[in-house]
Amino acid sequence: MKSKSSSIFIHMKSSLLEQYVGMLVESELTELAREPFSLDSLKGINNPKQLMKVLGQQFGPPIGGGVARVAYAYGNNQVLKVAYAGGDAAEHNKKEVKNAACLGKQYAIQVYDWDKENFLWIVEERVQKTTIEQLETKFQELAGIPLDIEQIRDLFARSPDMQNVHQHLYGKSKWYSGLADKLKSCNAGAEDFHQNNWGIRQSTGELVLLDLGF
């Protein structure tokens, strides 16, 4: 039969052991929290809800988004764009990767990495979104003639009303003719370019296209 003092000693050892294990677990979790986020942790996740849960824990609320995709600030001047609805939204991501590469750095945002299996996420450069005034001013600097936001949209949509303007700019503006040729050869839809399709590259002040999932 065990003595009272022996039982107390065993209880103390058990309690100390539990405390020690708890300290080890807490230390391990602290070290994991200090580790920088790696895109490798996203690879293999094919469920949009699971992906959003992981990113929410890591980054908190997104910095922007639309009806099917959201964006998180990531690294230096980059964004992590996520197709949280899957399906068509992931298809937009796939097209964005293709169009950005085809249009090139001169005309479009750069894409650095993406979910090569499901296209649920892409990492691309972060650019400053334009105001209408900024877009119209930048366009005039590059094309040489003043156009308002509606005319710019109709120009790229190849509206019959803007055909003469297109021909004039195609012969006079190297920037415009180059972009028009790229959009055609890349088969990138330009029927509804609006303000949010344009951004300014912060490092150079260049006007570039973004949101290229068309």
CATH number at residue 91: 3.30.200.20
Q: Is there a single domain that holds both residue 46 and residue 94?
A: yes
Query: Taking the mean position of all CA atoms in its chain, how far away is CA 25?
Result: 35
126/46 Cα distance (integer angstroms): 25
Q: What is the pLDDT of residues 117-158, one digit of tens each?
A: 999 999 999 999 999 999 999 999 999 999 999 999 999 999
Number of structural domains the chain divides into: 3
Among the candidates 126, 146, 170, a domain finishes at: 126
Q: What is the pLDDT of residues 79-122, one digit of tens each?
A: 999 999 888 899 999 999 999 999 999 999 999 999 999 999 99
Residue 31 has a pLDDT of 44
Residue 16 has a pLDDT of 53
Percent of the chain with pLDDT over 90: 61
User: Could you give the 3-state DSSP secondary structure of residue 146?
Assistant: coil
The domain in which residue 11 lies consists of 1-35
Q: Is there a single domain that holds both residue 2 and residue 55?
A: no
Q: Is there a single domain that holds both residue 154 and residue 193?
A: yes
Residue that wins the pLDDT comparison between 53 and 24: 53
Q: Is there a single domain that holds both residue 79 and residue 133?
A: no
Structure-token pair, residue 116: 């090569």
Q: Is there a single domain that holds both residue 58 and residue 118?
A: yes
Amino acid at 9: F
4/130 Cα distance (integer angstroms): 78
What is the pTM assigned to this prediction?
0.78
**In the structure, what pLDDT confidence band is assigned to residue 6 with cuts at 50, 70 and 90?**
low
Among the candidates 91, 126, 161, a domain finishes at: 126
Q: Is there a single domain that holds both residue 157 and residue 121?
A: no
Q: Is the pLDDT of residue 14 over 80?
A: no
Q: What is the pLDDT of residues 25-41, one digit of tens each?
A: 454 444 444 456 788 88
- Minimal CA–CA distance to 79: which of 47, 53, 117, 111? 111
Mean pLDDT of the chain: 86
**Half-sphere exposure (Cβ direction) of 126: Cα atoms closer than 13 Å:** 13
Q: Is the pLDDT of residue 209 over 70?
A: yes
